[in-house]
Amino acid sequence: MCRSTVYARQAPARASEGDLALLRLIDEEYTRHPFYGSRRMKAYLCGQGHPVNRKRVQRLMRQLGLAGMAPGPNTSRPHPRHEAYPYLLRGVEVERPNQVWSTDITYIRMARGFVYLVAVMDWYSRKVLAWRISNTQDAAFCVDCLEEALRHFGTPQIFNSDQGAQFTSEAFTEALKRRGIRISLDGRGRAADNIFVERLWRSVKYEEVYLKDYASVPELLLGLTTYFEFYNGERPHQSLADGTPNRVYATGQGGGARIVDTFGKEAGTAPAASSPADQAIPGEPGRQPPCRGSVAIA
């Protein structure tokens, strides 16, 4: 057997036209109803005139990294070789910028195919600090996004994510540990633990992606760059009293966040984090660097 064939880097397999149509429908319906699992999603697709079996729906939802919010067997199992971390934010009052950051991955549909989007967000201000798109779900583009946020905005006290293998990988967790950042992982079946990034995905899709139907990755990259500048600097946020993430992050006023402690044990408030004023652009007090975006294509 030819070694060049065995060890050649394989391009991601292209989805069929039928699968692409189903992926689009699943993405839209999951954004509207994130509690839908494969059973309800199968019923929805059949009702839309697409007779599919549950196994096919499960395969497509796995491809998108989707699962219903309700807990079930093996829905949030981390990589067996990766270290586990507790959830540190239940009952914690987020009172200042750079106290808590979080991240997540979502699927972004295109006219033909799809890519994955990862973002890092500051909980207090809802500011998107950095983002990346990639055509694979490997850990590398997530680590790049994290490093970009750390370079331009300093270090948070706590960094939260779900239990996905990208975020529990050694490369990702070591980037946090060597800076003394505490690691927090969502509980299994608890999508509300990272609710602020989940709300971001809904905004990105309904306000940008679904309206544009991008045909190429360069077009998507340009569109998301424009959108995140608008999201951070111009779009009023009801949770910020109609302020913008950029202003709230720069001033340290008007933001805040809290995950309710449904188990009745209030966690201690995290200690002080680095001030966003420390990362202001030299010579321009109060002005923060824009969020950073890029693309990684395997």
pLDDT-derived band at 91, boundaries 50, 70, 90: confident
Question: Among 9-13, 199-203, 257-261, where is mean pLDDT lowest?
Answer: 9-13
* Mean per-residue pLDDT, 248-258: 93
pLDDT in tens, 126-176: 999 999 999 888 899 999 999 999 999 999 999 999 888 899 999 999 999
pLDDT in tens, 185-233: 986 545 566 789 989 999 999 899 988 889 899 999 999 999 999 999 9
Verdict on whether the full-model pTM lies above 0.75:
no
Cβ(61)–Cβ(49) below 8 Å = no
Beta strands in 50-202, from DSSP E residues, in sequence order: 93-94, 100-109, 114-122, 128-134, 158-161, 182-185
Cβ(260)–Cβ(97) below 8 Å = no
Cα(221)–Cα(296) distance, integer angstroms: 11
Tell me which residue of 103, 128, 263 sits closest to 184, measured CA to CA: 103
What letter does residue 20 receive in the DSSP assignment? H
